Amino acid sequence: MSPRKRYWLMKSEPTDFSIDDLQRVGSEPWTGVRNYQARNFMRDDMKVGDGVLFYHSNCEVPGIYGIAEVASAAYPDPTQFQKKSKYHDPKATQEQPRWFLVDVRFVRKLDAPVSLDAIRGHVDALGEDFALIRKGTRLSVLPVTAAQWKHLLSLEPGS
């Protein structure tokens, strides 16, 4: 019996890395996560083939802009070792890395984004515990249930 597929929402500022960038390169290491809970999701829970909702944050219309998938098992984020990187961590060593990442592969862009405002209008269907709309949650990597995944994609304009 194969393991159950999981689903995630991963946030990126489009000025740093957008769904268009992912479409252009095909697959990309998800570098720079410096939150332990988000790191643990990538390191301990993500599996190749898991679904990813690609979310643009800190932009005019925050929301889900595309679909990707986890394309690799977790491995140490190389930016933690690079002194010139804004993600450098002087406490990390090759022998004891602190930060891990997965590669993410492009699947498709949405015809139009599912905005955060639209998502907030569906709290009854998504549940008050849905981390994206829960007050105080700022994680860049969030788990999504299969039901939430299905509902969020049903909000895509034209679906």
pLDDT in tens, 5-27: 999 999 999 999 999 999 999 99
Asked if pLDDT for residue 159 goes beyond 80, the answer is no
Question: Do residues 64 and 152 touch, judged by C-beta distance below 8 A?
Answer: yes
Which of 81-109 are b and which e, b meaning 16 or more Cβ less than 10 Å from the residue's Cβ?
Answer: beeeeebebeebeeeebebbbbbbbbeeb
Asked if pLDDT for residue 127 goes beyond 80, the answer is yes
Distances (CA, A) of 122 to 91, 133, 154: 42, 10, 11
> CATH classification of 7-149 is 3.40.30.10, yes or no?
no
Structural domain spans, the chain: 7-149
Residue 54: the pLDDT is: 98
Question: Stretch 148-158: mean pLDDT, rounded?
Answer: 92
Residue 136: the pLDDT is: 74
Helices assigned H by DSSP within 35-145: 36-40, 116-120, 123-126
Question: Stretch 70-98: mean pLDDT, rounded?
Answer: 96
The DSSP bridge pattern shows strands 63-70 and 27-29 to be unpaired
Whole-structure pTM value: 0.94
pLDDT tens digits, one per residue of 109-118: 999 999 999 9
Nearest to 66 by CA among 20, 4, 33: 20
Residue 2: the pLDDT is: 54
Asked if pLDDT for residue 42 goes beyond 80, the answer is yes
